[in-house]
Amino acid sequence: MNRSPYEEFPHIKTSEVTLRKIVETDLDRLFEIYSNENLFQHSPESIVGVAEMFDYHSDVNMITIGYRLHEQFWGQGIATITVNAMTDYLFNRVGVNRIQAFVLPENIKSQNVLQRNKFTQEGIVREGHIWKGKGVVDLVMYSLLKSDTTK
């Protein structure tokens, strides 16, 4: 199968979440997610979060994922369901072999999301990334291989 994950924009739908392309009518709400911590106290029907698939490397058939969820929606399983839907799509529809994610060491909730989805912690990338608002940071690296899902 091994095709580029960028050949078509994914539309992933489960009974709990829908992952779709951001459209022009989402832009104002998207800006609010990135700039307004109190957004969902006043507008619960807005975009709940953002899921990303990026840095595809065809030579090793690997992609990086990321996700951001407004904190009002933490603890409801939305991030876990989202990561599960993304990995299913990437492994079974696109044919990717390796999915990886990078998390700040203090972000235990996000690490738990990855662990619940059977990702393996590979180690810490020390002072290897610039993080907006934090400068140069350490990141915990997680990965999941297609073969991990058949064990």
Q: Quick: pLDDT tens for 103-114.
A: 999 999 999 999
Q: Would you give the DSSP letter of residue 119?
A: P
112 vs 15, 93, 109, CA distance in Å? 22, 25, 5
pLDDT in tens, 115-150: 999 999 999 999 999 988 889 999 999 999 999 998
Distance from C-alpha of 67 to C-alpha of 49, rounded to nearest angstrom = 7
Beta strands in the chain (DSSP E): 12-13, 18-19, 49-57, 62-69, 98-103, 120-131, 135-145
